[in-house]
Structure 1
Amino acid sequence: MTAYLVPALAGLLTGAGLIIAIGPQNVFVLRQGVARSHTAPIVAVCAVSDIVLIVAGVAGLGALVAAHPDVVTFAKVAGGLYVGALGVLAARRCLRSDEVIAADAAGAGNTGAESTGRWVAVGTALALTWLNPHVYLDTVITMGAIANGHGNGKWAFAFGACIASVLWFTALGGGARRLSGFFASPRAWKVLDAVVAVIMLGMAVALFASI
C-alpha cells in the first residue's frame, strides 16, 4: 500500500501543478460559474476530459503524439482560431451598455435559451480542452512520461493526477458560484470579460507564434 501512496501523491501534486494555471479553460469555467450557467456539466466535461487524457498519456499515447508533431500543429491552428474568436466575443461584451448587460442577466432564465446555452457551453468546454495543444504537451506527453518513470506505480500516479483534476474543477466551479453576488453589477461583468478577452487573445497570439 505504501509503495503506491508515494506515486499517488506525486501524481496529485504534479496534476495540480499542471492544471492550476490561468488559461482559457479555467477562465471559461470561472466565468460560467460566476454566471451560475451550466456549471455542473462544464465541470464534468473538463474533469472527465482530463481523466481520459491522463489515462491515455500513461497508457503510451504521449509517445504517439510526439512521433506525429502534425497533430500538435493542427491543434495550435484550430485552437488559436477558436480561442481568438472567444477573445473577440469577450471584448465585444465589454463594449455593451450596462442596460444591455442587466437585460441579458434578467433573461437568463428563459427555458429555450437555457437549453441552447447548455449545449453551446458544453461544446465550448470540449473545444477549449481538446483544441488546446498544451493539453497534449503537458497532460499527455509530460505527465505520461513522469508516470511511467514510477514503474509499477504509474497507475497510482495517474489516479492521483485524476483526483487533482476533479478537485480543482469542482472547487473552481463551486467557488466561482459564490462570487455571483459580487457580479450583480454590470461593471463587474465588464471587468471579468476584459480579463477573459486579454487571456483568450493572448493565448491565441502565443499559439500562432509557436507554429
Structure 2
Amino acid sequence: SFLIEQSLKRQWTALFVLLFIISDAISISLGAMGFGVLLQEYPTLISITKWAGVAFLLWIAYNKIKSSMADDALVLATAHKVLPFKKALLIALAVTWLNPHFYLDTLLLMGNLASQWQQDKWWFVAGAISASVIWFVGVSTLTAKFAHHMQRPRFWRWFNRANAAVLGLVSVQLASL
C-alpha cells in the first residue's frame, strides 16, 4: 500500500522500489544462509516479534479505516499529501523491516525452500530476488499507468478500506501462528 501511495504521488518511487528490492534480497539471502533456522532457536524473540507485528498491523489498519471515513476533501488531501523525504524513508523502512510477515516470508519460508536445493540454492535465491524485482517494479509501473483512474475520493476510500481488511486478516493470521 505504501508503494502504491508513493507511486500515485510520484514521490521517490524508484528509490523505494530499490529499497524494497534490496531489503528482500538481503533477507532472502540471509534465509538461504540459514539465519532463519538460527532465529527459530529463540522462541521468545519470535513471540515478541509476532505480537509486536500484530499490534503494528492493527494500528496501520485502524489508521486506514479512519482515513476512509473522512470527508471527500480530507480524503484527497491525505492522498495527495507530500511527505518529507526523511519521514517517507522511515515509513518505507518500517513497513519493511518492522513487518513480521516480511521475516516469515523471506527469511523463514524462502530460507527453508532454498535449503531443499542445497546444490542449487543460489539459483533459487536469484529467482526469488528476480520475482521481487518484477513485483515491485510492476506494482509501481502499473500504479503510475493507471493513476488517472485513482485520483477520486471514492477510490481512496475503498483503497483504504481494502488495505485495512487485508491488514486485519494478516494480523489475525499472524496471531494464529
Aligned length: 177
Check the 8 A contact 2:5/2:79 in 1, yes or no.
no
Residue of structure 2 in register with 1:3 after alignment: none
**Cα 1:58/1:189, change in 2 over 3 Å:** same
Q: Equivalent of 2:58, from 64, 84, 89? A: 84
The CA distance in 1 between the partners of 2:61 and 2:79, in whole Å, is 20
Higher radius of gyration, 1 or 2: 1
Check the 8 A contact 1:87/1:198 in 2, yes or no.
yes
Secondary structure at 1:82 match in 2: helix
The CA distance in 2 between the partners of 1:43 and 1:49, in whole Å, is 10
Check the 8 A contact 2:76/2:156 in 1, yes or no.
no
* Residue 11 of structure 2 is aligned to residue 44 of structure 1: no
Q: CA deviation at 1:64?
A: 0.2
Q: CA deviation at 1:90?
A: 0.8
Alignment of 1:69-148 (within 5 A): 69-104=43-78, 108=81, 113-114=82-83, 116=84, 118-148=85-115
The CA distance in 2 between the partners of 1:104 and 1:168, in whole Å, is 26
Deviations for 1:118-143, whole angstroms, at most 9, x for unmatched residues?
A: 33333233222223333333322232
Any gaps of 5 or more consecutive residues in structure 2? none
Deviations for 1:25-80, whole angstroms, at most 9, x for unmatched residues?
A: xx332333234333222222211111000110111102101212223222212211
TM-score using structure 1 length: 0.74
Q: CA deviation at 1:105?
A: 5.3
Check the 8 A contact 1:90/1:194 in 2, yes or no.
yes
The CA distance in 2 between the partners of 1:38 and 1:130, in whole Å, is 19
Deviations for 1:165-205, whole angstroms, at most 9, x for unmatched residues?
A: 11111111111122210122111111111111111223233
Any gaps of 5 or more consecutive residues in structure 1? 1-26
Secondary structure at 2:11 match in 1: coil
What is the aligned-residue RMSD (CA, Å)? 2.1
The CA distance in 2 between the partners of 1:98 and 1:89, in whole Å, is 16
Secondary structure at 2:147 match in 1: coil
Residue of structure 2 in register with 1:65 after alignment: 39
Structure 1 counterpart of 2:145, one-letter code? R
The CA distance in 2 between the partners of 1:147 and 1:176, in whole Å, is 31
TM-score using structure 2 length: 0.86
The CA distance in 2 between the partners of 1:140 and 1:65, in whole Å, is 9
